[in-house]
Homo-oligomer: A and B are copies of this chain.
Amino acid sequence: MTGRESITPPHRYRDNDKAVGIGNAFWDMSERNGLAGIVAELDDGLLRTADGHEFVNFTCCSYLDLDSHPEVIEGAVAALRRFGVLDHCIPRSRVQIPALLELEASLGELWDADVVSAISAGVASAGLLPLVASGHLGDGTRPLMVFDKYCHVSMANAKPACADETEVVTCAHHDLGFLEDMCKRYERVCYVVDGADSLGGYAPVKELNDLQDRYGLLVYFDDSHSVSAYGERGMGYVRENSRLQDARTVTVATLNKAFGTSGAAIVLDGFDKSVLRVIERFAGALSYSQPMNTAAVGASLASAAIHRTPELVTRQTRLAANIELFDSLVRTAQSGAEFPIRVVPMGDDAVIDAGRRVFEAGFYVSPVFFPIVPRGTAGLRVMMRAGQTVDQIRSLCRVLVEVGADAVTLADEVPGGVLR
């Protein structure tokens, strides 16, 4: 048109045309139907829109409701008053106030690990994965980086940077056979995968342990959906189930979900102090002067304190009971599993209307449908929390069944479960 050069993109690891094309149609459709773009004030566990509609959030990842715990909020306030700044802007490798160190020491003690903080799990992965790729978080050998096809986009987005430091491939979901083949072929391999999936399900931690033992496989987990909600002192699914706690495993986890605050933790074992300094100095944004702010640090210290008390177990137990109650009323492919996420199947043409009716009845569940999932797999995603009441869950399930969910009947009653 202008006679000037246009560009053909390589699209080896990403394609915005596709992502935006597919995703935007989904979001526009959701928003047109009032199921996205919702603004609401949070008040005593309920959300209220400007026009007065009240609803319970069944798509919030604060699985233990620690986000609104008074001690968490007061911890944030106390830290603001103590440190007198949200941030005193200078790279921590030069000069730092003790805030991050105190948090890292507390989380390190809590989970018996070396912990490095980050402002988000995404920032942690964007910084760490290229260092893993270049061998700086291993024995110096550049690993083949194998990304699980369904790993969270915050990890998948690091593929191009990793591909400039080593080779990168994508494997089918939890494809242990492929991983073993790669381990036989390459000097070193790193597998990048979610510890707990955002659509429910866990990584095959024990089977991965075997590959780690036999081939020195390095595994990079994002365990954001299970930390706090799962395991002793909320150490998460990966740490609770892995028998290897050494430099063959790297785990990152957000503190925004069940932990209830803001920020992220990188959980490490068995790395030399010198490697921990390399992370602090070279893992991307971890070296910039934008750390977790003091309010997030104070809230996280308070949440860590709660993690050391029986209250954590009480909340985990309540979450488990709520999940069990849900499963006793509505059948999903996830029924009986421990994780707090369920996808209630709906017809492709019915899912939007179903989501709208559930919302009108006072519950937000998030519809997923084509084009973000294949036709024939649409559904309403439900996230359980410790703080949802029995009444709320029963009412939600009643509405779900009315809009087409598969009710659990007497014949397939879950032992010990509750009937409709």
Tell which of B38, B68, B366 touches A85, judged by Cβ atoms closer than 8 Å: B68
Are A14 and B90 in touch, CB under 8 angstroms?
A: no
- Cross-interface CB contact of A164 among B14, B154, B165, cutoff 8 Å: B14
Q: In the complex, which residues of chain B have a beta carbon less than 8 angstroms from the beta carbon of A11?
A: 164-165
Interface positions of A from 31 to 85, Cβ below 8 Å from B: 35-43, 47, 57, 59-62, 67-68, 72-73, 76-77, 80-81, 83-85
A262 located at the interface, meaning its Cβ lies under 8 Å from any Cβ of chain B in the complex: yes
Cβ contact within 8 Å between A120 and B122: no
Closest B residue to A94 by beta carbon equals: B36
Q: Which residues of chain B come closer than 8 Å to A119, judged between CB atoms?
A: 119-120, 123, 290
Asked if A93 and B37 sit within 8 Å, CB to CB, the answer is yes
Within 8 Å CB of A5, what residues of B? 144, 185-187
Partner of A142, one of B7, B14, B166: B7
Nearest CB of chain B from residue A230's CB, rounded to whole Å: 16
Within A128-142, the residues touching B (CB, 8 Å) are 130-131, 133-134, 136, 141-142
A95 interface residue, CB < 8 Å from B? yes
Which of under 10, 10 to 19, 20 to 34, or 35 or more describes the interface residues of A?
35 or more
Which residues of the other chain, B, contact A350 by a CB distance below 8 angstroms? none
Which residues of B have CB within 8 Å of A111? none
Contact with B along A250-282 (1 / 0, CB 8 A): 000010110011101000000000000110011
Are the CB atoms of A186 and B7 closer together than 8 Å? yes
The smallest beta-carbon distance between A330 and chain B, in angstroms, is: 21
Please tell me if the beta carbons of A9 and B86 are within 8 angstroms of each other in the complex.
no
Which of B89, B163, B167 interacts with A62 by CB under 8 Å? B89
CA distance A260 to B293 in the complex (A): 11
B289 and A61 within 8 A (CB): yes
The verdict on A184 contacting chain B, using a C-beta distance below 8 Å, is yes
A160 CA to B133 CA, complexed, in Å = 14
Q: Are A123 and B285 CB-contacts (below 8 A) given A165-B16, A364-B95?
A: yes
Q: What is the CB-to-nearest-CB distance from A69 to chain B, in angstroms, rounded to a whole number?
A: 9
Q: Is the CB of A86 within 8 A of B164?
A: no
Given A39-B98, A164-B10, A295-B296 in contact, is the A80-B73 Cβ separation under 8 Å?
yes
Report the bound CA distance from A299 to B80 in whole Å.
10
Contacts of A120 in B (CB 8 A): 119, 123, 285, 288, 290
**Interchain CB contact under 8 A, A187 and B256:** no
Other A-B pairs, 12, CB within 8 Å; known A11-B164, A42-B84: A9-B142, A27-B281, A30-B94, A38-B94, A38-B96, A40-B96, A41-B97, A42-B85, A60-B90, A68-B84, A122-B284, A256-B290
Q: Which A-B residue pairs are the 8 nearest by beta carbons?
A: A295-B295, A16-B134, A160-B160, A262-B293, A120-B290, A61-B89, A67-B85, A86-B262
